[in-house]
Chain A
Amino acid sequence: MNIDLAINTDLARKILTGFLKTEINRAGFTRAVINLSGGLDSAVSCALAVEALGAENVLALRLPYRLSSPDSLEHAQWVIDQFKVRSETIEITEMVDPLIERDPKISEGRRGNIMARERMIVLYDRTEAFKGLAVGTSNKTEILLGYSTLWGDMASAMNPIGDLYKTQVRQLARALNIPQPIIDKPPSADLWEGQTDESELGFTYEEVDKLLYLLVDERYTHQDCLDAGFDEAFIHKVVGCVQRSQFKRMMPPIAKLSNRTVGYDFIYLRDWGT
């Protein structure tokens, strides 16, 4: 079965830059701040923000930890240089190590979460100082799989790429002239040495994007996916990830007591009044 995730990148660019400019302006801002990891997603978000707001209005942050790959830092610098955005480099080691060192048995996952959340703290602090809004860098694949840290790398004021699968972000990256090595390298959260998304997940983005597209966008049933040639265990695993991570895609439920409760029957868009 041919599952085509090709997107018209000109159209995507037009909609997404319009989205960033309009929604940032409506919130009363003209500037954006982005955590630039050295990877594909944040490079694309950064390029879109530059196209929407102008380079002088975009602040890119490089927030390395002592064990971060030097390549990540360098690749982030390529993006900063190419798009001529403002930048700051703030090492988070001193901020996170005291917490990490309190527990000698701390898992890699916990360490990763601490780092992701520290980067969120720095990001939001710099938005105050720069008078900008935090632009998100999560793609649709990781949002659906829950492959991200709640209140960490998921935190942003708005996200231009959250409805594009990873393989679609890659198409957009080519159109935006993101440096080729950033497009080609194996995606990684770079939370520990040698980590790659695909080895940790146990499947490739190429495979999972197609399955997610059928399940989510095309509303295929489990049986439809089997008929389309996907492996039973793979479908089971992916559906499990999506279902178990629903909490990450929602605000925390508020226990209802009154006649009108935030989240249930107090319903307004963020753009209310603008």
Chain B
Amino acid sequence: MQLSLALAQIATHLGDMKANLDKHLDFIKQAKARKADLIVFPELSLTGYALQDIVAGVAHRPVDDDPIFKPLLKASQDLDLVVGFVDEDSRHRFYIASAYLSGGRVLHVHHKVYLPTYALFDEGRFFARGDSVRAFDTRFGRVGMLICEDFWHVSAPYLLWLDGADLFLFSSASPGRGLNEHDKLESAHWVENVNQSYSNFFTSFVAHSNRIGYEDGLNFWGGATVYDPNGDRIAHGPYFEEALTVATLDLNQVRRTRARLPLLRDERTALVQSELNRILSK
């Protein structure tokens, strides 16, 4: 089975959801024209990243009658979508969220579980932490979604792997930093290493959609990637430019790789559990 996967690295307007929605619909149209089955937008793609005190003003529920989600759910009749937004629960907690939309329905919502609140990041001040990491079924098999800092904690993709995910969809708004003599920022270098490592460790497809553009002095570097279950990079978007990167994933590669390298078969989950129990009971 083949999956035509589109990664939309867009610049966003900070707090202007109408403008961001229009851009989503435009990229969805382009992806459709290129016969993509699934399009993945970056973290907080509908709102912009450094929202700070804007958060409550841009929170939405991913439901049919929501003015932002209505046209997106309609568009998901044609191809599956992953969009980034601020989710507000019934008790008015605000989450950094990714929603997977397919066939006019919301299949899954992931709330970011790790909120970086150090150095240039201040997410824990403005958002609630998600409290679950779950894989879910799609028409392309079982998928796991994580948002930026989530995948800097190895336990999060590990849990998704054990929960059945063979396709990892990561989204980020990764601020560019670490300029040295190399032709790539250190932040891009780190993230690409991590993504490639997971594709190796988990013998799975790992796709990453990262935004571009600026917010005040912060730059975002784009550079969408897809790594296959052998750890080979099969797609790479440009740095710093808006682009739709379309990759064809031969999903049967998972089977071939795992026939060669049965890491999942040999994973000692009971051992992990017993050792974790011991460590956590100290």
Binding site for B on A (CB under 8 A): 4, 6-8, 10-12, 14-15, 18-19, 22-23, 158, 163, 265-274
Contact = CB atoms under 8 A, between A and B. Distances in A.
Given A267-B52, A269-B215, A4 B181 contact: yes
Interface in B9-31: 11, 13-16
Given A270-B216, A273-B14, A6 B240 contact: no
Nearest to B188: A11
7 A-B pairs closest in CB distance: A6-B181, A267-B52, A22-B214, A271-B14, A269-B216, A267-B53, A273-B15
A150 B127 CA distance: 36
Given A14-B240, A18-B240, A271 B216 contact: yes
B196 to A, nearest CB: 21
Nearest to B184: A11
A272 B183 contact: no
Given A7-B181, A11-B183, A268 B53 contact: yes
B60 to A, nearest CB: 17
B63 interface: no
Contacts of B15: 272-273
A7 B214 contact: no
A110 B14 CA distance: 42
A272 B14 contact: yes
A272 B53 CA distance: 10
Contact of A266 (B53, B183, B215, B216): B53
Contacts of A274: 13-14, 16
Most chain A beta-carbon neighbours within 10 Å: one of B48, B50, B213, B214: B214
B181 A8 contact: yes
Given A18-B219, A267-B52, A269-B50, 18 more contacts: A6-B180, A7-B180, A8-B180, A8-B182, A11-B185, A15-B176, A15-B179, A15-B240, A22-B214, A267-B53, A268-B52, A268-B53, A268-B54, A269-B14, A269-B215, A272-B15, A273-B15, A274-B16
Contacts of B215: 269, 271
A10 B183 contact: yes
A269 B52 contact: yes
A15 B219 contact: yes
A210 to B, nearest CB: 14
Nearest to B185: A11
Contacts of B219: 15, 18-19
A14 B15 CA distance: 26
A10 to B, nearest CB: 7
A158 B13 CA distance: 19
A6 B183 CA distance: 12
B54 A4 contact: no
Given A8-B179, A8-B180, A18 B16 contact: no
Contact of A22 (B184, B185, B213): B213
A230 B182 CA distance: 27
Contacts of B213: 22
20 contacts: A7-B179, A8-B180, A8-B183, A10-B183, A11-B183, A11-B185, A14-B240, A15-B240, A22-B11, A22-B214, A23-B216, A158-B217, A267-B53, A269-B50, A269-B215, A270-B216, A271-B14, A271-B214, A272-B54, A273-B14
A95 B15 CA distance: 44
Nearest to A14: B240
Contacts of A271: 14, 48, 214-216
Nearest to B19: A274
A23 B213 CA distance: 10
A271 B185 CA distance: 24
B186 to A, nearest CB: 11
B223 to A, nearest CB: 12
Contacts of A8: 179-183
Nearest to B125: A267
Contacts of B216: 23, 269-271
Interface string B192-233: 000000000000000000000111110100000000000000
Interface string B131-145: 000000000000000
Contacts of A268: 52-54
Interface in B46-71: 48, 50, 52-54
Contacts of A23: 214, 216
A71 to B, nearest CB: 32
